[in-house]
Chain A
Amino acid sequence: MPKTLDAVALDQTVEITNISGSPFASKLTEMGLTKGQYIKAIFKAPFGDPIAFECNGNILSIRKEEASFIEIKVL
């Protein structure tokens, strides 16, 4: 099982390797979440969900469930 974005530790920069199964794949692309993009979790909401990621200079709030569609590799 490849690692997905919902399980990354804070402050760890990872690279997006694949987006699979999300009904919003094109929306993710539009928001800059594409293959090869570096992304870093910078803070979490209480209860650990949603998670705020820094991606290409902006901050995105992503629910864990939505993040689980995004496969990553740790750099």
Chain B
Amino acid sequence: MKIALVGNPNTGKSSVFNMLTGLRQQVGNFPGVTVDLRQGTLSLDHTQHTLLDLPGTYSIFPRSSEENVVREVLCNPTHPSHPDLVLFVADAAQIERNLLFFSQVYDLGIPVVLLLNMWDRALAKGLELDLQKITELFPGITIIQTNARVKLGKNRILERLASELSKPTQSFVGKEALSSEDATIQQQDANLRLEKIRAAQLVTNKKQEKISFSTKLDRLLTHPIWGYGIFALILMIIFQMIFTFASFPMDFIDAQFVHLSSWISEVLPEGQLSKLISQGLIPGIGGVLVFVPQIAILFFFIALLEETGYLSRVVFIMDKLMRPFGLNGKSVVPLLSSVACAIPGVMSARTISDPKERLITILVAPFMSCSARIPVYTLLISLVIPKTYLFGFINLQGLVLFGLYTLGIVFALLTAILLNLLLSKKQSGFHIMELPEYKAPRMANVGITVLEKAKLFITDAGKIIVAISILLWALASYGPNSREQQLQQLQNTAQYQNATAAAQEELYAATALSGSYMGQIGKAIEPAISPLGYDWKIGISLLTSFAAREVFVGSLATIYAVGDSASNLRLLDRMKQETKPNGEKVFTLATGLSLLVFYVFAMQCMATLAVVKRETKTWKWPLIQLAYMGFVAYLSAFAIFNLLS
């Protein structure tokens, strides 16, 4: 049996879904459906039922592509996902407004069960619901009181599912208007329903509402000073947590994959296959999994803040500030998350209902300086920026680092303005938003969100990342025949023969990389990058760092023949001594700053591209993003280099 979960936003629909399916759920594409929906299974008396979680909406009349899905699935009996039974989740404390949408589903003639969720909150508010009257208003339905946050009502739902389905026996106001596209007819339908529901006087309020604790808290959290202050503090704590807690599992994953790949190369017979698996595939998979801790931690906090109701207050206080850039308050979380990593940032843009604002947010998010840029920034800054203090107390290196972050933010916002002008708007935005009441977070819901996001990244973006990293590996480790000769020549030189074993290995690796196909490409693009102040060695490192920005440091280490890439200090010394054929230093202030600016802007991250493809469902936008960010990076690096040299 196909069951659909339907209801208004903020009614605890996902709690009901989690309560019924537990971990037996996944996000997926459905035939004829353009947005991601969650689906779970539920077994009852040895039969499997599928439970489809439809997006929360206030009525059958759609205002967004997400809401469109709801109408398509419910109104079209031939739709592959059309349900045999609807579980309608309603907030018991908001019953009149919820029944408006319910009455529309009822009129469609689908068997429906009304779940009066958050029953405890209605009681606490002093509301009394006349269930008898509701049944009289909608003959043929079953009403179940639930409190999904504490898993109350599950058994009653299961009992109901086991019994005979019964269709609504009459209509409420009729279903003629429900398929209408006309705004006036839609409003008349909504009005008619609401009036009829209100006239039935289903609710008696025994308590008079007075200024509640919630409003006092709201006035503090949305205060011009305290509101922003508290938000900044929470952000700071989250970032501290990410940098503190993500590094352990990331290092662990890194180390385990290094072990695994050396183990494989020992176990498998030597040859191309062994190389492909141990040096291409395994590190590629490791390169996917290494992002998971950051994604998990960030979504843990986002889900936590969302569960408590605080996140919608952040949207509320940031809304006005984001509007001049064609964004809205909901863009704040994706953009700020991108400071840790653009991948969860792009993934969290899903809460933005306006498609244009969501797209702009996704496109500009990678301009925010993510944590993978930090190793590149710190290496280059310590290379070209002197360790001095301005006015005796401002650390110049720190100031440059601050400048790079600011540059990223400024360009994200400028690009947003540009995109806002260029992209056409399919529908005018509707921004009225419910601010849910504050409540304690349910850890089960938080945990499921974290799992879902991590799984989505690994399964969907992961494939693309592994494929590209194998390609990059192959380019860097194979080369034309001339490479063999170079390596032979190297082994005959006196310098090589007199060197220690470790130094020999370094020299060998450097020659191998520069002679590889990647090295050839690096040399081939030298004319294109020399106006930016780069030589072919930097060129190779730029290419390899497309796998992930921090790879830049490792590549430089290999190419400058510094065996242990972890020792930045030695790498730094080598780079400082590096000279061009004409005797000039390679890493001048001009080249260094040009590279820094390049890394602020360039889309040097295939993982982000893969995620943007996943979220926009087309290669068009990630490719535009790649080209545009590359263009900005090239031009500004060119400008900086030529201004300074």
Complex CA distance for A56 and B203, rounded to whole angstroms: 12
Cβ of B215 and Cβ of A32 under 8 Å apart? no
Partner of A46 from the list B211, B224, B434, B437 (CB cut-off 8 Å) is B224
Closest to A35 in B: B191
Cβ of B101 and Cβ of A61 under 8 Å apart? no
Cβ of A50 and Cβ of B319 under 8 Å apart? yes
A61 CB, nearest partner CB in chain B, Å: 5
> Given the known A-B contacts A26-B186, A46-B317, A57-B125, are A52 and B61 also in contact in the complex, defined by CB atoms under 8 Å?
no
B94 CB, nearest partner CB in chain A, Å: 6
Cβ of B316 and Cβ of A32 under 8 Å apart? no
Cβ of B434 and Cβ of A25 under 8 Å apart? no
Complex CA distance for A27 and B211, rounded to whole angstroms: 27
Cβ of A59 and Cβ of B319 under 8 Å apart? no
Closest to A48 in B: B320
Asked if B152 lies at the interface with its beta carbon under 8 angstroms from chain A, I say no
- A-B contacts counted at CB < 8 A amount to 114
Closest to B317 in A: A45
Cβ of A42 and Cβ of B218 under 8 Å apart? yes
> Given the known A-B contacts A30-B100, A46-B224, A52-B316, are A58 and B434 also in contact in the complex, defined by CB atoms under 8 Å?
yes
Residue in B94, B125, B209, B320 whose Cβ sees the most chain A Cβ within 10 Å: B320
Cβ of A25 and Cβ of B316 under 8 Å apart? no
Asked if B233 lies at the interface with its beta carbon under 8 angstroms from chain A, I say no
Asked if A17 lies at the interface with its beta carbon under 8 angstroms from chain B, I say no
Asked if A34 lies at the interface with its beta carbon under 8 angstroms from chain B, I say yes
Cβ of A45 and Cβ of B191 under 8 Å apart? no
Complex CA distance for A10 and B315, rounded to whole angstroms: 20
A57 CB, nearest partner CB in chain B, Å: 6
Complex CA distance for A58 and B432, rounded to whole angstroms: 13
Partner of A50 from the list B100, B215, B320 (CB cut-off 8 Å) is B320
Please name all residues of chain A whose beta carbon is closer than 8 Å to the beta carbon of B194 when the two chains form the complex.
Answer: 29, 32, 34
Cβ of A43 and Cβ of B101 under 8 Å apart? no
Cβ of A46 and Cβ of B433 under 8 Å apart? no
Please name all residues of chain B whose beta carbon is closer than 8 Å to the beta carbon of A47 when the two chains form the complex.
Answer: 224, 320-321
Number of interface residues of B (CB under 8 A): 46
Partner of A26 from the list B190, B227, B320 (CB cut-off 8 Å) is B190
> Given the known A-B contacts A26-B61, A43-B219, A50-B319, are A31 and B227 also in contact in the complex, defined by CB atoms under 8 Å?
no
Cβ of A45 and Cβ of B316 under 8 Å apart? yes
What 0/1 readout, one digit per residue, does chain B (215-234) give for beta carbons within 8 Å of chain A?
A: 10011001110011000000
Asked if A3 lies at the interface with its beta carbon under 8 angstroms from chain B, I say no
B402 CB, nearest partner CB in chain A, Å: 25
Tell me the dominant secondary structure on chain B's binding face.
helix
Complex CA distance for A33 and B321, rounded to whole angstroms: 26
> Given the known A-B contacts A50-B320, A57-B93, A61-B316, are A28 and B183 also in contact in the complex, defined by CB atoms under 8 Å?
no
Asked if A62 lies at the interface with its beta carbon under 8 angstroms from chain B, I say yes
B310 CB, nearest partner CB in chain A, Å: 13
Asked if B435 lies at the interface with its beta carbon under 8 angstroms from chain A, I say yes
Please name all residues of chain B whose beta carbon is closer than 8 Å to the beta carbon of A56 when the two chains form the complex.
Answer: 94, 96-97
Asked if B411 lies at the interface with its beta carbon under 8 angstroms from chain A, I say no
Cβ of A24 and Cβ of B94 under 8 Å apart? no
> Given the known A-B contacts A27-B63, A30-B97, A57-B93, are A45 and B320 also in contact in the complex, defined by CB atoms under 8 Å?
yes
Complex CA distance for A14 and B63, rounded to whole angstroms: 28
A68 CB, nearest partner CB in chain B, Å: 13
Please name all residues of chain A whose beta carbon is closer than 8 Å to the beta carbon of B59 when the two chains form the complex.
Answer: 26-27, 30
Known: A30-B58, A63-B431; 18 extra A-B contacts, CB below 8 A, are A25-B183, A26-B183, A26-B187, A30-B61, A31-B97, A31-B434, A43-B215, A46-B320, A47-B224, A50-B316, A50-B319, A52-B218, A54-B209, A57-B209, A59-B435, A60-B432, A61-B319, A61-B432
Q: 20 interchain pairs (CB within 8 A)?
A: A23-B183, A26-B183, A26-B189, A28-B432, A30-B59, A30-B61, A30-B101, A31-B434, A32-B96, A46-B224, A46-B227, A47-B321, A50-B316, A50-B320, A52-B435, A54-B215, A58-B94, A59-B437, A61-B431, A61-B435
Interface residues of B, Cβ cutoff 8 Å to A: 58-59, 61, 63, 93-94, 96-97, 100-101, 125, 127, 183, 186-187, 189-191, 194, 209, 211, 214-215, 218-219, 222-224, 227-228, 312, 315-317, 319-321, 428, 430-437
